[in-house]
Amino acid sequence: MCGIVGVLGHHEVAPILVEALKRLEYRGYDSAGIATVNNGRLDRRRAVGKLVNLSDLLVHDPLPGKVGIGHTRWATHGAATVVNAHPHRSGPVAVVHNGIIENFRDLRAEMTAAGMSCETETDTETVVMLTRHFMDRGMAPREAAVATLRRLEGAFALLFLFDGEEDLMIAARKGSPLAIGHGDGEMFVGSDAIALAPMTDRITYLEEGDYAFVTREGAEIHDLEGRRANREVARIQLDQTRIEKAGYKHFMAKEIAEQPVVLADAIKHYTTGGTINLPEGLDFSLLDRVTIVACGTAYYAGLTAKYWFESLAGLPCEVDIASEFRYREPPMPAKSYAIFVSQSGETADTLAALRYAADKVEKVVSVVNVPTSSIARESDVSLPILAGVEVGVASTKAFTCQLAVLLLLALKAGRDRGRIDDAALAGHLAAFATLPGLMNQTLSREPGIARMAASLAEAQDVLFLGRGAMFPLALEGALKLKEISYIHAEGYASGELKHGPIALIDKTVPVVVFAPRDGLFDKTVSNMQEVMARHGKVLLVTDGQGAKEAGEGTWSVLTMPDIPVLLAPILYALPAQLLAYHAAVAKGTDVDQPRNLAKSVTVE
């Protein structure tokens, strides 16, 4: 969620830190700050709001130094104020922190009893207080930082800077990612390789429990037990870390438009002719169950995949919200796969769920967008979705690529279990290959969708309905609308309408219905009639035949290209995204960085 960057360089670091933090803005934040050491003196600058506020502050109150740390904060403990902004400082030590220190209250009480006073409402302040406490007792910075780490409970990525130390940063990770970048006589630390890309393409990812003493000569890494550890230096692809709007007004608009291209890349990667190319060792033939675990949009991708696994493979599929999964201690059959879906691969709840399941199932499979992420590294099989960098907080291209990879897994399961023969598989994959073209056709309808969205933007409440695999898409459509336009929206299975939600219907409540002409279409039309009989405004998203049969009496109809029912959830995701995007634009909200949200959720 928050962004961390650190630089041990040869040049003034303040502008370098701010520029690196700009590359992490996509994570979402509400304050920012930097700290440097110059001529042995530790100092810091902090500001609430966007990074431009910090930049303005630095113009009027410069912060010199060639070593520094920076941070963009997404508030957890304490409001978004300058006092609560990072870096936090106590005496000779400053710290930036991602994650949550779960035992901070106990530590705070201990430090208060020792005569220290708190200045902030944050959990992070206890880290600097504790480190200062150890230094006051005679410990050197390295010893004090390690002693502090041993007292902390929770999830964290930490970067320490010390008064009088112009060639030292100390980095540590537990449950939250942190990477070290290697330069020519310079060193860098970041919560995301994207932040470091302009400075280096050589990256070392700290593993769980690692801490590192970073100087200009390199990084001395220790594992959880304090032993020296050798970690691989990997080269990152700089073109994969480029973040540009490419002429679009918002990253979200760019990423919606990229979907035909990235989906085509995924199809090319995972299919050859009439066959599916997945890593060896994936065999669904003798499984009793598949469990899919995810959060947010990825969870809705999992709900869609449930329909596919059960209909194509006859394989029971359970889908769980990651934040609930491990706390109910679910029994998991030994003959099962657990599939974890995450855009970032660092989602804290999903990672914790993976660790719960790891020794209980036959295989742990991850579907992620970052192949070097924690979830990917801790899985038996990791399947990249190949969506490329996604900057907009509201996931778009990652969602459709997640759906694509999950559908291929379901088709593989159907083939393994004898429910799909070679000819049928080849037919499914041939249809699959037409999806990028159909997506382009759908995107050509954007001007009409924008006009519909302008009307939606005037509503205070919107309902989304769908049956079968369109039900999870209704949930996703509602999520997209609420998270970037701030319009209250809910998604329901169409058949559930009469069991309560129909009480909400009146002429002020638009109802968006996803209904391709399939075997459930007539039942969905009946639900639409129930809405229209109560003066509800129906926006029907359907194909040409569906529009002919059910378009009369609706407020508006969006006619989609014809597509096999199996693939409809992937294609129909595009109008759900475009409706949300253009409604948000019409309302003037911050599309790419909506309030209170973060891109990578690395706290529970």
Distance CA(468)–CA(569), nearest Å, equals 10
Question: DSSP letter at 274?
Answer: T
Can 363 be counted among the known catalytic residues? no
Give Cβ neighbours of residue 52 (< 8 Å, ≥ 6 apart).
none
Per-residue DSSP letters for 57-118? HHHHS----SEEEEEEE--SSS-S-TTTSSSEEETTEEEEEEEEETTHHHHHHHHHHTT---
Can 2 be counted among the known catalytic residues? yes
Distance CA(575)–CA(439), nearest Å, equals 10
Helix/strand/coil for 319: strand
How many whole angstroms from its chain centre is CA 185? 33
CB atoms within 10 A of CB 373: 24
Distance CA(234)–CA(214), nearest Å, equals 17
From the list 213, 168, 205, the residue with the least C-alpha distance to 67 is 168
Region for 159 from its dihedrals, namely left if φ exceeds 0, alpha if ψ lies in -120 to 50, beta otherwise: beta
| Pairing relationship of beta strands 179-182 and 169-174 according to DSSP bridges | unpaired
Q: From the candidates 66, 397, 412, 599, give the one annotated as an active-site residue.
A: 599
| Pairing relationship of beta strands 93-101 and 169-174 according to DSSP bridges | unpaired
Q: Would you say 259 and 281 are in contact if contact means Cβ atoms under 8 Å apart?
A: no
Report how many helices (DSSP H) and strands (DSSP E) the chain contains, helices first: 20, 26
Q: Locate tokens 């902390």: which residue?
A: 152
Query: What's the token pair of residue 586?
Result: 């019409």
Which residue type occupies 577?
Q
End-to-end Cα distance, the chain = 11
Q: From the candidates 2, 295, 317, 401, give the one annotated as an active-site residue.
A: 2
Give Cβ neighbours of residue 469 (< 8 Å, ≥ 6 apart).
304, 307, 308, 565, 568, 569
Q: Would you say 566 and 572 are in contact if contact means Cβ atoms under 8 Å apart?
A: no
Query: What's the token pair of residue 115?
Result: 């005569």
Q: Would you say 64 and 14 are in contact if contact means Cβ atoms under 8 Å apart?
A: yes
Query: What's the token pair of residue 1?
Result: 């969620």
Tell me how far CA of residue 540 lies from CA of 481, 550, 561, 569, in angstroms. Answer: 16, 8, 14, 15
Dihedral in degrees, nearest 10, Cα atoms 195, 192, 232, 197 = -20
Question: DSSP letter at 264?
Answer: H
- What order do you get walking across the sheet with 3-8 strand by strand? 41-48, 31-38, 67-73, 3-8, 187-190, 179-182, 202-205, 234-235
Enumerate the active-site residues. 2, 599
